[in-house]
Structure 1
């Protein structure tokens, strides 16, 4: 082999062919050829090529070890914090929504540690988490509509804050925001997969202890399941951010399979609704389910856009997404009309105002996405316009969630 290397020293194409055919043999024989021709520039390049990977792997291993250690510490802290918060929730000293502070701040800390944002971004993140935690615990522990709405909207607001931690200094960049949405989809898939494994382990553990006459269900839930659920969120963030192939390979296929199934289901449901004569204007529960469908369809569409991607070449997935958006817009228009009718007929309440606001926001977002898709399908723009319609609207949802969380308990006190 070393003779072949020396013989073809002036033939880069042949050297590359020999290497690709038998890379290990090539590497083993190269050192002898290099010793015989130390002045060859061609072999000098090959020497760097063959041995650079060892240095790169060493640096990568060092970085991986550093990130793994930080992930482990944050996962343990998240588990401990969640267990402590749960103790106070049990004592009815604080609201259950505080459990979110046992997870999201630590995921944000992991992003900050690995991305090192500017001080103004860091201070903004810390301030928003601290203010949110302080404010939500200043509210009375009452089951009033305005306070429950604040509890429901706080996770949405903090999810957008977490997005700031993920994007860091590039929070204005549309592609970075799109990466955050993809990260959420992949995290959801991987977390669910690992959670199922954890549930099986829990069931097995419970049964094993029952065989010896011990019921450890309460202890196990408080000290193992709760801790594990919180820590797993940090571990999942770490694994997905390390470009784990499992979630990245599965997510696009789920998006491509799930979108047409949702489209068929929605079409059948809408036809059935018209057939049986259900009226969202008069039936409150049906109106709530209508809004649930709307939010689900929007989530599926965004998931499909971010995970399956949009190529310059139009595909059947693009037409399915466009149809889903169009149907969702019809559902939202009907829901908006029903909400306005109920407001004018039965008066203003915090719940009705929130539903109205959410539907207006979604309606505007769907219009933007649909118009972008129409221009894309007519070859007037590229896929970036659709991605912009998805990513640039995210802060609007965060602002609305912040408005409901921080003002409704004061306005409707």
Structure 2
């Protein structure tokens, strides 16, 4: 920051680079070359007597091949320094490119539907639960690898890791004695943690291989939040249409339920998921963003839910007597809190000063910490009384991971609100900690089954 409180030129360049990298037509290499060009222009303008702000503004203005990007950036950050940019007239939209991307994605969605349908043909619910993520997420990763021009080496490494995971998980003797029966405890844990691990691998494809860059990881967090919103809307609409379809055929005496279950849903659900991803990408050029609105609506509601959960935990008698189902629900609520927190942080302007909503978020974090500590105490008490199981170990480990995440977030938010730190530090803690979730998911998927004898 400069002495008068304005963001320094390095921070401005970071913001500019992050925005440039969100454009699917620009690779990481392109962005690096453009940044070098921008820095050279800034240095020349400084030498000519301009101060940092003026040099940055003029340099960005002269990046003629990025007029569209600069225009969008200025509009989305109109309350900041960027509004001073004198932008050229708008160029034609990229609608044609978006429709081309949609065509590629629909083809991949059909492939995902075929893969899901093949899993259903096996008529093995256990195998389906273990492999459904492998049937959908690789197709979305392929779309990002294509649209982001992912280097062949990175694409190959991701494919090898995903294939190795699929082989290892399917070789585990979960069904050795009674094939076709329900999943064992460790198999359920593997099935629930596999999507998390694969999703973070997908993030490497989304970032075009630039996973080490904080701005790109934050873009992936933002994408994840908006994907959930779009997919939920599509699912609600699709569910309504499916209900009307079944009702219509039922009136004329035709049972359409087998077709819907066996074929329609096999293609519609993964198709809606991939189309939702395309919609998130296509709307990047739209100035209005739903994230700030959603986070401001759901943050106070979630805080109220957390307080109620804390009361339920403390009113449930001795911690050793807390019902196991209640502890599972607490973990679910804590995961929701972390997801909402990530989404809210990704939607916030990191340059603006702290305000009432930031204090509300700090209250959310502190309350979540209290719930986590109580839940951890209850879990430790249950383990001391009844011993270890795969479920207890997984729950305890997840709560420890969440505890560290929340402590770090709370501390950095407090420093930011007390003007002893920056919001950029809060952001970087979130994106760096994603690796911890990936490691923990890998431990549960690959280590827990043999450690607990696949039971």
The TM-score bracket by the shorter chain reads: 0.7 to 0.9
Separation of aligned partners in 1, 2:290 and 2:423: 22
Which of 95, 102, 110 matches 2:143?
110
Separation of aligned partners in 2, 1:235 and 1:194: 9
Offset at 1:194? 1.4
The residue correspondences of 1:13-162 to structure 2 (distance < 5 A) are: 53=91, 56-57=92-93, 60-88=94-122, 90-91=123-124, 94-142=127-175, 143-162=183-202
Unaligned stretches of 5+ residues in structure 1: 1-48
- The change in CA–CA distance for 1:287 and 1:239 in structure 2 (over 3 A counts) is closer
Tell me the alpha carbon deviations over residues 140-171 of structure 1, each in whole angstroms, 9 at most, x when there is no partner.
34433222211221111111111111112210
The residue correspondences of 1:236-251 to structure 2 (distance < 5 A) are: 236-243=276-283, 249-251=289-291
Separation of aligned partners in 2, 1:391 and 1:222: 39
Offset at 1:239? 1.4
Tell me the alpha carbon deviations over residues 36-67 of structure 1, each in whole angstroms, 9 at most, x when there is no partner.
xxxxxxxxxxxxx77x83xx55xx35533432
Separation of aligned partners in 1, 2:426 and 2:419: 13
The residue correspondences of 1:156-305 to structure 2 (distance < 5 A) are: 156-243=196-283, 249-271=289-311, 273-274=313-314, 276-283=315-322, 284-305=324-345
Query: After TM superposition, which residue ranges in structure 1, 4 or more long, deviate above 3 angstroms?
Result: 244-248, 271-274, 276-280, 308-311
Checking the alignment, whether the CA contact within 8 Å between 1:86 and 1:99 is kept in structure 2 is no
- The change in CA–CA distance for 1:327 and 1:123 in structure 2 (over 3 A counts) is same
Tell me the alpha carbon deviations over residues 265-296 of structure 1, each in whole angstroms, 9 at most, x when there is no partner.
3224434554x444433223333233233222
- The change in CA–CA distance for 1:256 and 1:170 in structure 2 (over 3 A counts) is same
* Higher helix content, 1 or 2: 1
> Which stretch shows the higher mean deviation, 289-298 or 79-88?
289-298
Checking the alignment, whether the CA contact within 8 Å between 2:158 and 2:201 is kept in structure 1 is yes
Separation of aligned partners in 2, 1:210 and 1:337: 53
- The change in CA–CA distance for 1:85 and 1:247 in structure 2 (over 3 A counts) is farther
Q: Tell me what 1:351 maps to.
A: 391
Tell me the alpha carbon deviations over residues 340-373 of structure 1, each in whole angstroms, 9 at most, x when there is no partner.
2222222122111111111111111111111110
Separation of aligned partners in 2, 1:270 and 1:247: 39
Separation of aligned partners in 2, 1:347 and 1:316: 45
Secondary structure of the residue that 1:82 maps to in structure 2?
helix
- The change in CA–CA distance for 1:278 and 1:251 in structure 2 (over 3 A counts) is farther
Separation of aligned partners in 2, 1:93 and 1:372: 42
Secondary structure of the residue that 1:281 maps to in structure 2?
helix
Separation of aligned partners in 1, 2:399 and 2:95: 48
Residue 390 in structure 1 maps to residue 430 in structure 2: yes
Q: Tell me what 2:26 maps to.
A: none
Checking the alignment, whether the CA contact within 8 Å between 1:75 and 1:231 is kept in structure 2 is yes
- The change in CA–CA distance for 1:235 and 1:290 in structure 2 (over 3 A counts) is closer
Separation of aligned partners in 2, 1:248 and 1:82: 35
Offset at 1:185? 1.0
Unaligned stretches of 5+ residues in structure 2: 1-87, 176-182
- The change in CA–CA distance for 1:381 and 1:93 in structure 2 (over 3 A counts) is closer
Separation of aligned partners in 1, 2:342 and 2:185: 30
Tell me the alpha carbon deviations over residues 282-340 of structure 1, each in whole angstroms, 9 at most, x when there is no partner.
22333323323322222222222223454421111100110111111111112222222
Checking the alignment, whether the CA contact within 8 Å between 1:251 and 1:307 is kept in structure 2 is yes
- The change in CA–CA distance for 1:246 and 1:85 in structure 2 (over 3 A counts) is farther
Q: Tell me what 1:314 maps to.
A: 354
Q: Tell me what 1:412 maps to.
A: 452
Separation of aligned partners in 2, 1:309 and 1:403: 35
Separation of aligned partners in 1, 2:415 and 2:110: 49
Q: TM-score, normalised by structure 1?
A: 0.81
Residue 371 in structure 1 maps to residue 411 in structure 2: yes
Offset at 1:192? 1.1
Separation of aligned partners in 1, 2:289 and 2:278: 17
Q: CA RMSD in A?
A: 2.2
Separation of aligned partners in 2, 1:253 and 1:93: 39
